[in-house]
Structure 1
Amino acid sequence: MPQLHPCPDDDGNPVVIRMPSTPTALAAWQESARLATVIPGGALPDAINGIPLAPWSTVPDSPAGWAALADRALLEEPPFVLPAGMSAAAGAVIVEDDGRVWLVAPSNRFGGYSATFPKGRTDSGATLHCTAIRETFEEAGLQVQLVAFLADCRRTLTYTRYYIARRIGGTPAAMGWETQAVHLVPIAQLDRVATHHNDFPVIKAAREWIEAHLR
């Protein structure tokens, strides 16, 4: 049965979810070996890994506000060299202390993705840092801090820089209209949930980073 996303699209039109996702039981969020799923406005525990799940009350409302947040991310990273004919984009691999990783399920499998990492194209004048933080909030409802460069990956139409990020606030129940569900996925299950071939290099890099830093 189709459902309406609680958020309209950027033009104010209703978004019909033709094949709604199924949320998991609340207990799954507290068990590091289990995949957990929430739908827009869905039920969640008060916190995961000691960090509250609550709406981000100070979301920037201007490009300058987003840029100010991004300016705090001082990372060692290589130059970003955009291949000819491709658009620049940035995204985040959000890693929890229990080793699980956040994925978003694009509404109606947009672009052929059942699940993927939050990312988006850079707006005019926006930095890669700013884009990664903003897109993560818009698609996953999460407030994050970028902590490391992960990889540059060629995708269908974009060349995307991915960062490792840590969740510092927000709630996935507040996902925007482009997302019909948000998943918290054990690292071993990533390629069974994010099945598009464009994501395989990101998954490989994420596994290597987690093995080096969390194990």
Structure 2
Amino acid sequence: MTQNVKSAQHMRFLRKPFQIVRDNFRAYLIINAIVYGLVITGMVAAIVFPNLGTNQVATQENSGMTDLVRSLINNSWLFSLTILGVNVMSGALLIVIPSLIVPFAGIPIFAYRAFTLGLLLAPTTSIIAVGLIPHSLTILIEFQAYALLMFGSYILGRSWIRPATIGARNHRQGYVRGLQQLGWLSLSTLPLFIIGAIWEALSLGYLLPPLIQWLL
């Protein structure tokens, strides 16, 4: 009996986020277009206007993030945990928490962040270009997690402002139901963040060095 209950809970965990996406598929596609489109736009902008990319790299180095990566890159599992922590905190601070206070606030905040990350990821040197071969999978996985959080923020904001869209009677009930859907979508991002962090750490530590030697 207990096993059946656990199986039902696992199935609900898997089905619920897909159901939310299916019920709001157009909004989901638009959010994904915004996220990935801004990353690509940032990469193109850094190629066309090199100073933009240079300034972003300098900002990253001044923040200490580059030194942190260098110090952890040979310890893949610690590096993975650090990446996971940074990604989860970024999602919470930039997308989820602002959207809990102001409807849709996390969407423009992370949209700007996606653009600046695109500037940082632009293949402006041969080493970065080679790095994008394995790192493109990291971008696909991790930004999908961010897109799901932005999508959840959209659902929350819409439910809050227009309660009828989620079958609620008033704004308070709309907020609560929207928050529940944001919660389900947030849970679904954890496997993506974990897989993305592990792949990023392993690819940078073990795959990128031989690729650089082979191709350059």
- Flag whether TM exceeds 0.5 (same fold): no
Q: Determine which structure has the larger strand proportion and give its number.
A: 1
Q: Determine which structure has the larger helix proportion and give its number.
A: 2
Q: TM-score, normalised by structure 2?
A: 0.23
User: Which structure has the bigger radius of gyration?
Assistant: 2
Q: TM-score, normalised by structure 1?
A: 0.23
